[in-house]
């Protein structure tokens, strides 16, 4: 029983690693197309456990929540044409933004930027 649960969790994690960024709907479609059917409840239960274990995280891109595996600090670029979400390394961003410690008398702990535009693949079309 424990082993079966572990395998399902691994499937959820591997699917997310494969997709990069995914909504719960994206994950369910991917899992049902690539593995045997797993119930929605099971996927949600495993997502919750993976979040608690800090193996994955939930990020807000515009007005949608997407999951991703925990990686190095990065920001996001979302393509308005194809919806693709691309990771942007902090060293692509002007350093004076990365290094802000105080803003308007508020202590800055983290910086979250979502860029939107047209991705490199859509520009070529
Ligand atoms: Zn695009
Ligand atoms: Zn990301």
State whether residue 45 is helix, strand or coil: helix
Cα distance between residue 113 and residue 115, in whole Å: 6
Q: Determine the pLDDT at residue 2.
A: 46
- pLDDT mean over 89-94: 92
CA 12 to chain CA mean position, Å: 13
Q: Domains (ranges, CATH) in the chain?
A: 2-69 (1.10.10.10), 75-124 (3.30.1490)
- Using DSSP's 3-state secondary structure scheme, residue 78 falls into strand
pTM of the full structure: 0.83
The DSSP H or E segment spanning 27 is helix 24-34
> In the structure encoding, which two tokens stand for residue 120, read together?
């490199």
Closest-lying ligand to the alpha carbon of 84? 1
- What is the whole-number distance in angstroms between the Cα of residue 1 and the centre of ligand 2? 33
Ligand minimally distant from the alpha carbon of residue 120 = 1
Convert the pLDDT of each residue in 52-82 to its tens digit: 999 999 999 988 999 999 999 999 999 999 9
Q: Kindly state the average pLDDT of the residues 34-40.
A: 85
């Amino acid at each position: 029983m424990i082993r079966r649960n572990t395998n399902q969790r691994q499937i959820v994690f591997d699917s997310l690693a494969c997709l990069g960024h995914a909504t719960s709907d994206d994950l369910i479609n991917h899992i049902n197309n690539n593995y045997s059917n797993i119930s929605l409840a099971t996927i949600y239960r495993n997502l919750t456990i993976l979040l608690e274990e800090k193996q994955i995280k939930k990020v807000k891109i515009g007005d949608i929540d997407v999951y991703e595996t925990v990686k190095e600090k990065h920001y996001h670029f979302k393509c308005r044409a194809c919806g693709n979400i691309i990771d942007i390394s902090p060293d692509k961003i002007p350093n004076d933004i990365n290094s802000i410690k105080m803003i308007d008398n508020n202590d800055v702990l983290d910086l979250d930027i979502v860029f939107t535009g047209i991705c490199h693949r859509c520009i070529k079309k």
